[in-house]
């Protein structure tokens, strides 16, 4: 059994980032591998870059031996290449459909009716510019899952689908989760197209129950105003069209799933507050938006789908919502373990960056001061900190931890004063005094997990616990053993 | 605090007491057990001398024990680690160690021991109580967060060495 996640477009990529953090904090249902593939024509977009950086860092330290624990329990396997782009460089719709060769044919005339000249000639390097009609055509044309194509590297298109399908075909219980926005260009066009193609290709596996497909569809949650410097003749997404796109897409999903049962489970995630995006960008590296609480919900939807048992006999409509419209609290998160596990993991990351990481660096420089940190003698005596492999794993973990802090800050709205127009009562808003580089206020550590009750743990408590604690798990070794001990002490 | 991480202070302090008591007993009984080790001056009474010596040993043991639990107390409840700076507490341990040493030296200066022979063995006996009593009590039973602060404790309490840390 394995889990599979296909993110489509920028929103999908951001949901992947949240999913990685859930994997790290042990909120995935079991120890199965998670295979992740990203689909985006805009391979350089900032959101995707951020997710792939988080994945790469996670992969670089996931081999650390932390033993039998929830910490980093999900092994992540990224697709190779991680991002599949349905378009080659400098392609437009005309070149993809070889319009020049089919001019004056009935098909060409139909094509001219369906797409404006601007839609046909706009380069698709930076995505489908909020036009799902372009994306759907390109995706269907480019994703080759037919037997004769399977296994053939045709202009780099066969992979990563080839590996993905062969892996799923061998799996006795594959759970494939597709996620992305329903209102933009890439996600709106890619999710239904890919799900449909997968369902057709894996028909027998789906029927036997070996393959289940889930969808995490994100409704509009941000808005932006167009930058005046962008040429009016350019094709770009407009947030005014989001709601209309969404309405059409929901009708489509309702219709399609009523008759064809493409998805075993569909999660629809929305937010009544439209978060304004500060910087307008058509795409590419400039399209890097802050993480949003809706992406955390999407990641929880994925975890819920992976945790769900075999297909229900009757259709069920589950519903979750917040208790208080002006607040986001732990009880609003759709996983009863969220507070305990995400809370413990966040405490672990924060204190590692605040206290232990700087001390490890200092003791590495000056080993004579090691007696001041008893945990260093207990856990680092056998570790050669100058070994490149260990150094790389520690650096990867450090960078992952920093990216986690930034993610938490975005989710929580730290630095903005609120979380998209409401209070976020997950973590104490004053615990982080600076996001980059991350700096913390130790005085707020005992209260960092909000409305926690009696389980208040200060920085000094964790220092004391770690100094006395012994990891008895024989599978916890090296730097992983230290991380395991610290994580256990953060409960 | 979760029960998994409870530190048994009573057991640690009790163990410190036993360590100090052990060295006190050696020191206290030394002239009795090795009765020809000390010869007092002709003007002095041997029984009075023994009594004076044992009072000195007991007082010194009390100071050693108080210094050891003083160290334990400040290390356990006074020191706080909140930032990755200024976490070195060895000077505090040395300050606590200085108290029994100073008391020992004071006893040597103030006490007219009236010993004719075997003075050095008495000095060693009291010195051992002052130095080893405090040293071993703190080396083995300092609070976990400062367990390696006493000199040489890494050898006794380090992960690959003799384990006597009291944690729960």
DSSP secondary structure code for residue A124 in this structure: -
Give the contacts of A472 (CB within 8 A, at least 6 positions apart): none
Q: Look up tokens 């001990």; give the residue.
A: A485
SS3 for B50-70 is HHHHHHHHHHHHHHHHHHHHH
**Which of A343, A355, A467 has the highest number of chain B CBs within 10 A, making it the mutation to test binding with B?**
A467
> Which pair of tokens denotes residue B155?
């050898």
Chain B contact set for A369 (CB, 8 A):
88
A280 pLDDT tier (thresholds 50, 70, 90): low
Q: Is the CB of residue A186 less than 8 Å from the CB of residue A8?
A: yes
pLDDT of residue A110: 86
A279 pLDDT tier (thresholds 50, 70, 90): low
Can you tell me the distance from the alpha carbon of A410 to that of A14, in angstroms, rounded to the nearest whole number?
A: 12
Q: Look up tokens 């998994």; give the residue.
A: B4
The 10s digit of each residue's pLDDT in A89-117 is: 667 878 877 878 888 888 888 888 888 87
CB pairs under 8 A between A and B: 78
Averaged over A266-281, what is the pLDDT?
A: 77
Per-residue pLDDT for A233 more than 80?
no
Can you tell me the distance from the alpha carbon of A44 to that of A33, in angstroms, rounded to the nearest whole number?
A: 26
B86 pLDDT tier (thresholds 50, 70, 90): confident
Q: Is the CB of residue B146 less than 8 Å from the CB of residue B79?
A: yes
**Which of A367, A371, A382, A460 has the highest number of chain B CBs within 10 A, making it the mutation to test binding with B?**
A371
Averaged over B94-100, what is the pLDDT?
A: 97
Per-residue pLDDT for A53 more than 50?
yes
Torsion of CA A299, A304, A310, A312, to 10 degrees: -110
Whether A374 and B146 lie within 8 Å, measured CB to CB: yes
Is B50 in the A-facing interface, judged by CB distances under 8 Å? Answer: no
A287 pLDDT tier (thresholds 50, 70, 90): low
Whether B1 and A372 lie within 8 Å, measured CB to CB: no
Give the contacts of A74 (CB within 8 A, at least 6 positions apart): A3, A23, A24, A26, A28, A31, A32, A33, A34
Nearest residue of chain A to residue B76 (CA atoms): A464
Using N-to-C axis directions, what is the helix angle for A186-201 and A9-24, rounded to 10°?
70
Nearest residue of chain B to residue A378 (CA atoms): B159
E strand or H helix at A76, and its extent?
strand A76-84
The 10s digit of each residue's pLDDT in A129-164 is: 667 777 777 777 777 666 544 444 444 446 788 888
User: At A180, is the secondary structure helix, strand, or coil?
Assistant: strand
pLDDT of residue A133: 75
pLDDT of residue B73: 97
pLDDT of residue A158: 61
Per-residue pLDDT for B97 more than 80?
yes
Provide the shortest C-alpha distance from residue A490 to chain B (in Å): 10
Chain A contact set for B140 (CB, 8 A):
none
Is B144 in the A-facing interface, judged by CB distances under 8 Å? Answer: yes
Q: Is the CB of residue A181 less than 8 Å from the CB of residue A188?
A: yes
pLDDT of residue A221: 83
E strand or H helix at A77, and its extent?
strand A76-84
Give the contacts of A351 (CB within 8 A, at least 6 positions apart): A445, A459, A462, A486, A490
Whether B87 and A469 lie within 8 Å, measured CB to CB: no
Strand A174-181 versus strand B115-117 pairing type: unpaired
Per-residue pLDDT for A83 more than 60?
yes
Mean pLDDT of chain A: 84
Whole-prediction pTM value?
0.88
Averaged over A456-470, what is the pLDDT?
A: 93
Chain B contact set for A458 (CB, 8 A):
82
A271 pLDDT tier (thresholds 50, 70, 90): confident
**Which of A343, A372, A373 has the highest number of chain B CBs within 10 A, making it the mutation to test binding with B?**
A372
Whether B149 and A461 lie within 8 Å, measured CB to CB: no
Supply the Cα-derived Rg of chain B in whole angstroms. 18
**Which of A350, A354, A464 has the highest number of chain B CBs within 10 A, making it the mutation to test binding with B?**
A464
B163 pLDDT tier (thresholds 50, 70, 90): very low
Whether A354 and B87 lie within 8 Å, measured CB to CB: no
E strand or H helix at A181, and its extent?
strand A174-181
> Which pair of tokens denotes residue A133?
């009609």
> Which pair of tokens denotes residue A217?
């569809």
pLDDT of residue B114: 79
Using N-to-C axis directions, what is the helix angle for A478-489 and A388-412, rounded to 10°?
30
Mean pLDDT of chain B: 88
Averaged over A311-331, what is the pLDDT?
A: 77
The 10s digit of each residue's pLDDT in A402-450 is: 999 999 998 888 777 667 778 888 998 888 888 888 899 999 999 999 8
pLDDT of residue A102: 82
Per-residue pLDDT for A231 more than 90?
no
Whether A460 and B81 lie within 8 Å, measured CB to CB: yes
Nearest Cβ partner for A378 among B90, B159, B168: B159
Window 65-124 of B, Cβ < 8 Å to A = 80-84, 87-90
Averaged over B20-37, what is the pLDDT?
A: 89
Please report the DSSP string for A30-60 in residue order.
SS--EEEEEE-S-TT-HHHHHHHHHHHHHHH
A390 pLDDT tier (thresholds 50, 70, 90): very high
Q: Is the CB of residue B96 less than 8 Å from the CB of residue B105?
A: no
pLDDT of residue A184: 76
CA distance to A68, A352, A363, B3, per residue, from A359 (Å): 27, 10, 6, 27
How many C-beta atoms surround the C-beta of residue A221 within 10 A?
A: 22
Nearest residue of chain B to residue A461 (CA atoms): B1
Per-residue pLDDT for A246 more than 70?
yes
Can you tell me the distance from the alpha carbon of A374 to that of A370, in angstroms, rounded to the nearest whole number?
A: 7
pLDDT of residue B131: 97
Using N-to-C axis directions, what is the helix angle for B119-141 and B46-73, rounded to 10°?
20
Nearest Cβ partner for A374 among B5, B90, B147: B147
Q: Is the CB of residue A414 less than 8 Å from the CB of residue A435?
A: yes
CA nearest to A25, candidates A446, A417, A411: A411
> Which pair of tokens denotes residue A258?
């009523």
């Amino acid at each position: 059994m394995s889990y599979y996640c296909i993110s489509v477009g920028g929103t999908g990529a951001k949901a992947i980032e949240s999913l990685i953090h859930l994997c790290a904090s042990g909120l995935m249902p079991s120890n199965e591998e998670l295979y992740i593939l990203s689909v985006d024509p805009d391979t350089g977009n900032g959101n995707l870059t951020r997710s792939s950086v988080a994945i790469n860092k996670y992969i670089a330290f996931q081999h650390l031996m932390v033993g039998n624990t929830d910490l980093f329990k999900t092994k992540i396997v990224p697709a190779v290449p991680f991002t599949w782009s349905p378009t080659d460089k400098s392609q437009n719709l005309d070149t993809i459909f070889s319009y020049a060769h089919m001019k004056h044919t009935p098909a060409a005339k139909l094509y001219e009716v369906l797409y404006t000249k601007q839609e046909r000639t706009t380069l698709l390097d930076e995505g489908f510019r909020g036009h799902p009609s372009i994306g759907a055509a390109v995706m269907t044309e480019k994703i080759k899952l037919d037997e004769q194509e399977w296994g053939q590297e045709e202009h780099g298109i066969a992979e990563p689908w080839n590996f993905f399908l062969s892996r799923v075909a061998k799996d006795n219980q594959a759970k494939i989760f597709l996620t992305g926005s329903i209102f933009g260009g890439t996600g709106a066009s890619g999710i239904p197209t890919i799900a449909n193609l997968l369902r057709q290709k894996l028909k027998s596996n789906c029927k036997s129950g070996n393959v289940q497909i889930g969808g995490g569809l994100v409704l509009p949650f941000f808005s932006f105003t167009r930058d005046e410097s962008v040429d009016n003749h350019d094709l770009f997404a407009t947030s005014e069209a989001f709601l209309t796109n969404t309405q059409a897409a929901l009708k489509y999903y309702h219709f399609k799933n009523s008759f064809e049962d493409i998805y075993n489970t569909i999660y629809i995630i929305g937010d009544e507050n439209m978060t304004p995006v500060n910087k307008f960008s058509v795409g590419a590296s400039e399209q890097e938006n802050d993480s949003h609480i809706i992406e955390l919900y999407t990641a929880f939807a994925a975890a819920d789908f992976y945790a769900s048992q075999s297909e229900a006999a009757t259709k069920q409509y589950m519903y979750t919502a917040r208790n208080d419209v002006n607040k986001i609290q732990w009880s609003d998160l759709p996983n009863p373990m969220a507070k305990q596990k995400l809370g413990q993991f966040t405490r672990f990351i924060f204190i590692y960056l605040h206290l232990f990481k700087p001390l490890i660096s200092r003791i590495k420089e000056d080993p004579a001061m090691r007696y001041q940190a008893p945990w260093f003698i207990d856990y680092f005596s056998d570790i050669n900190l100058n070994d490149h492999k260990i150094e790389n794993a520690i650096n990867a973990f450090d960078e992952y931890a920093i990216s986690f802090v930034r993610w938490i800050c975005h989710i929580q709205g730290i630095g903005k004063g609120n979380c998209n127009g409401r209070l976020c009562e997950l973590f104490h808003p004053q615990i982080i005094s600076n996001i980059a580089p991350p700096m913390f206020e130790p005085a707020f550590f005992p209260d960092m997990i909000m409305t926690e009750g009696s389980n208040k743990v200060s920085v000094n408590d964790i220092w004391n616990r770690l100094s006395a604690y012994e990891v008895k798990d024989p599978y916890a070794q090296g730097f992983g053993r230290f991380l395991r001990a610290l994580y256990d002490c953060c409960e | 605090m979760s029960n998994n991480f409870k530190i048994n202070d009573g057991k640690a302090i009790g163990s410190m007491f036993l360590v100090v008591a052990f060295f006190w007993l050696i020191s206290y009984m030394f002239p009795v057990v090795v009765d020809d080790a000390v010869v007092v001056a002709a003007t002095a009474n041997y029984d009075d001398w023994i009594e004076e010596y044992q009072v000195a040993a007991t007082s010194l043991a009390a100071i050693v024990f108080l210094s050891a639990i003083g160290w334990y107390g400040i290390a356990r409840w006074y020191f706080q680690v909140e930032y990755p700076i200024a976490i070195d507490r060895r000077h505090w341990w040395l300050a606590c160690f200085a108290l029994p040493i100073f008391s020992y030296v004071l006893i040597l200066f103030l006490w007219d021991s009236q010993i004719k022979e075997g003075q050095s063995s008495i000095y060693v006996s009291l010195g051992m109580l002052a130095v080893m009593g405090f040293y071993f009590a703190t080396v083995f039973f300092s609070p976990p967060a400062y367990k390696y602060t006493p000199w040489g404790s890494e050898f006794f309490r380090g992960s690959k060495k003799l384990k006597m840390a009291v944690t729960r």
